[in-house]
Structure formats: structure tokens, C-alpha cells
Amino acid sequence: MAQKALINDLVTSISTQTKDATFACGGSIPIKTNPNKGDDGDGGHAPVQIRFGEQDRGVLVTLPTDDAESTPLKKLFAACTPASFGRGQHEVLDDTYRKAGKLDTDRFATNFCPYACGIIDIVSQMLPPNVISPGSEKRSVRAELYKLNIYSAPSGKFKAHVDTPRSDAQFGSLVVCLPVAHQGGELVVRNGGKDVVFNRASRDPNHSGPELDRTTDQASQGAAAIASHPSSLHWAAFYSDCEHEVLEVTSGHRIALTYNLYVRCGAGNLAGNIHGDLLNHAQLPLYETLKHALDTPGFMPRGRVLGV
């Protein structure tokens, strides 16, 4: 009887989630403490480097850093210009709606690659693009670096909005938050009456309070939070029709790389689960129901096929 009840729970969850498909996903990537050691299979990423500035007078920023007020970081902040946003057919500046700095892609370079660390493989499976031309069975994702954005305390923010796709092929966005100490600045993504809260805050060394965690507060709204870590990259991807906002940064600086996600004809094969904990599985709709069933002694002792 217990097994039948668990199967019924799974059927109910699957039936419900077919109406509320996944619209956002995210995870984290630890920064390797000893990048010179080589690839040890831990899935970590070397410290992130940002190069900017005039030819022969460029500046290198390496993250994470123990000094949030270092000269290279200060030069990065100074190099940014105010970030605009689309309103109708126009780009406007309004720091009551969006208060942030930005660097265009022709003004900086980075060693971070979302393909190399497996993010695009995950996005291709979790957020399959649906705007490819009819009759095409093979789809893949192309990520194009769009901006470097900095939201600084006090009051760095971006109020709720829906992005305007840059072309018919764009289906989503990817945001990668770099390991810089800050508080606040959570990314909230909404769709179909549901919220997903990506907690990007990296602990400010001068902040003595508890790490902000919205899991409990938002659970009743169907939200999920990704735990932050001061030496990790945090990423989130979502469809273009989702409303989203960056909550106010109350301490430090939230530095993020933003990518536009486009659909293109491609191999079409799934990448498989080769990236370990890169994806936060607990955030997925069926996770709790399926985990409870699989953790229950005596559930399907002879084995059965749950899905293909």
C-alpha cells in the first residue's frame, strides 16, 4: 500500500508539473583554490579574470579577492557607465528603476566560458528552446556574451521587467554572478504565478549577521533558493518571457556577466549528467516527491521503469 501511495504521489506531481514546466534553473561552481594543480575532476573553475582598459594600459582583475577595495576593482567600477534599459522602442536611463553600471563586450575580456564549465549543456536540457523553425528536430543553444553589469550598495537594483528578445532566435538569458562579497542583490524570476529566488549574495567579510536565505520565507510561494558561497560562481538561466528583477544590494558589489541565449540547429544529443553538482537538483519541480519515494525502504524492491 505504501508503494502504491508513493506512485500515486508521483503521478499527481507529474500531472501538475506538465502545466507548470520549468522556466528557470541555476546552480553554482566552486572556485579552485589551487588552479595550477590541474584538472582534478572536482568541477571547479579557475579564478575569474576580467581584463579592461586601453591598449598597453590594461587592467587585470582576478576574482575572488580578499580586498574588495583593491585598486583594480576600483578602476573597474570607474570604467563602467550607467546601465540603460528598454522602454518601448527606446533605451532610457532611470536610476529609480535600474541603478547599475555596465561594460560592453568591446571594452573587456574574460577567461570565463559557460561552455567549458558545463552550464550550456545543462541549460540545453533543462530549458530546451522552442523557437526553432518547424520541421527541425535538432536544436542546440548558443550563448552570446552581452554585458558586464555591476550593482553596488547602496540601492543598486533593477525593478521587475521582461526582456525584449534581440532576435527571433533568442529564447532566454543567462546570468553568471562572480565571486565578489555583497549582501542583497537576489535575482527573482517569475512565471505563471510562481517565483524562483536565486540567492547570489556572497558573504561580506564585514557583515556579522547570518547569511540571507529565502528558502523558508518563500517556500509557500513555490520559490527555491541557491545557497551562496564566497568562493563560488552562481548562475541562473531563464526564458525570455519571464518577469525578473534584481533586488537591492545593501552591501558590497554584485558583479555579473550576462549572456543572451539563442537557438540554433545542432547535434540534438543530451549531454548526460557529467557535471556533478553544477545543477541544483533540489530546485526542480519533481525533486522532493521523487526523492521521498526513492528514500523509502521497500519502494519498488524489484525495480520498475518510472520514465524514459
Q: 270-297 in b/e burial notation, b at 16+ Cβ within 10 A?
A: eeeeebeebbbeebebbeebbeebeeee
* pLDDT tens per residue across span 252-283: 999 999 999 998 876 544 444 445 566 777 77
Grid cell, residue 239, equals: 526564458
Q: Give the Cα-Cα-Cα angle 53, 59, 62 (nearest 5 degrees).
A: 130
Helices 2-17 and 287-295, packing angle to 10 deg: 170
Mean pLDDT, the chain, integer: 79
Side-chain-side CA neighbours of 73 within 13 Å: the count stands at: 20
Per-residue pLDDT reduced to its tens digit, 65-79: 888 788 999 999 999
Q: CA 208, CA 30: separation in Å to the nearest integer?
A: 23
Kindly state the average pLDDT of the residues 89-98: 86
pLDDT score at 112: 97
Label residue 288 by pLDDT band (50, 70, 90): confident
The reported pLDDT for the residue numbered 15 is 65
